[in-house]
Every structure is written in structure tokens, then in C-alpha cells.
Amino acid sequence: MWIVAGILLGIVVLAAAAGMHLGPHAHLVSSVAGTLAAVWLVVMAALGYADPLLYVLLAADVTMSGVMGGLAVKALRTPGPLAETNAPPPSVEGKMGRAVSDLDPNGVVRVGGEEWTALSLNGPVRKGQEVQVINVRGVRLEVWGEAQRAELDPLDERGEGAVS
């Protein structure tokens, strides 16, 4: 009888220690093993093994099982860092958007239906001009303004526009 009690209590202690490294599921195993050990110790007491050590072990086991069960329940109900509520917004790098205000070099752009503060990396960008997101720095986007094609006269040999 004492050997079975010792094995069950050993499982409780090992699972509790493993839970510090492996997480809440090991705490849950510890709590379940502790409950089995407590039932076993009560059966031993009912069969006449009324040694004072039995009651000390029973009290320690019930306390340990309660603490480990509480830790397991709390940890398993708490959303982890990858839960949907904590997920970062989808990346906007590489996406196209439109300038909501002039960027000279700072302004506001709309990308994916959201407005962002932005910094133009290639000079002034006019309101309404298309931009591409190059980088995200915190809550500010670094964008590249798509060049507006100005209708220029072809260059002559000297590099000056042709005179009409």
C-alpha cells in the first residue's frame, strides 16, 4: 500500500516540476495524479493505516494538487501570445496605396482601407498619387511615390527640351 502511495506522490512531484518547463498540461497531470494519490491515502486511512505520516502526506498532497490544478486552469484559459486577440496586423509591406494628403516628405496614405502616417522616400508625393509601401517603422510607413509621368518634350543633343 505504501509503495503505491509513494509512486503516486512521486508522479505528483515530478509532474509539478515538469510543469515549470513544459507548461499547463503537465500541471494538469500533476493535479490529476494528486487527486488519485489523495483517494489512495484516504482508502489507506479507512483500512487502518492510521500512521501520522499518512495524514501529513494527505494534507501536503491535497494542497499541492489544488495549487497545480489552479495553475493549470488559469494558464489554459488565458490566450497565448499567438492567439487571435494578440495577433499583429497583417503586414502592409509591398502593398499599394494612395496619398490622402501631400507627402513632403511626411503625410497620410491609405493602404488596405486604413489610413497611416507616411514618409516619402523619393521626394514629394501629391495627394491622390499612388504609393508603394517599402517599410513599416512602428506606426509609420515608408513609401515610394510612383512617379507621375510629365509630358516632356524629347531632349535635344544638348540635354535641353526642344523649343517649339
pLDDT tens, 17-54? 887 778 788 878 888 888 888 888 899 888 888 788 88
Q: Is residue 162 part of a domain?
A: no
Q: Is residue 150 part of a domain?
A: no
Residues 113, 67 share a domain: no
For cell 522616400, name the residue.
Answer: 121
Cα distance between residue 25 and residue 73, in whole Å:
9
- Backbone phi and psi for residue 62, each to the nearest 5 degrees, phi listed first: -65, -40
> What pLDDT does 84 receive?
53
Question: What's the rounded mean pLDDT across residues 11-16?
Answer: 83
Q: Is residue 161 part of a domain?
A: no
Residues 47, 8 share a domain: yes
Q: Is residue 69 part of a domain?
A: yes
Range of the domain at 131: 96-145
Question: What's the rounded mean pLDDT across residues 114-119?
Answer: 92
State the Cα torsion 48-54-59-62 to the nearest 10°: -80
Q: Is residue 22 part of a domain?
A: yes
CATH number reported for the structural domain that contains residue 139 in this entry: 2.40.50.140
Q: Is residue 10 part of a domain?
A: yes
> What pLDDT does 6 receive?
84
3-state secondary structure of 125: strand
C-alpha cell at 25: 498540461
Q: Is residue 90 part of a domain?
A: no
Residues 65, 122 share a domain: no
Query: How many domains is the chain partitioned into structurally?
Result: 2
- The pTM assigned to this predicted structure is 0.45
Question: What's the rounded mean pLDDT across residues 114-142?
Answer: 91
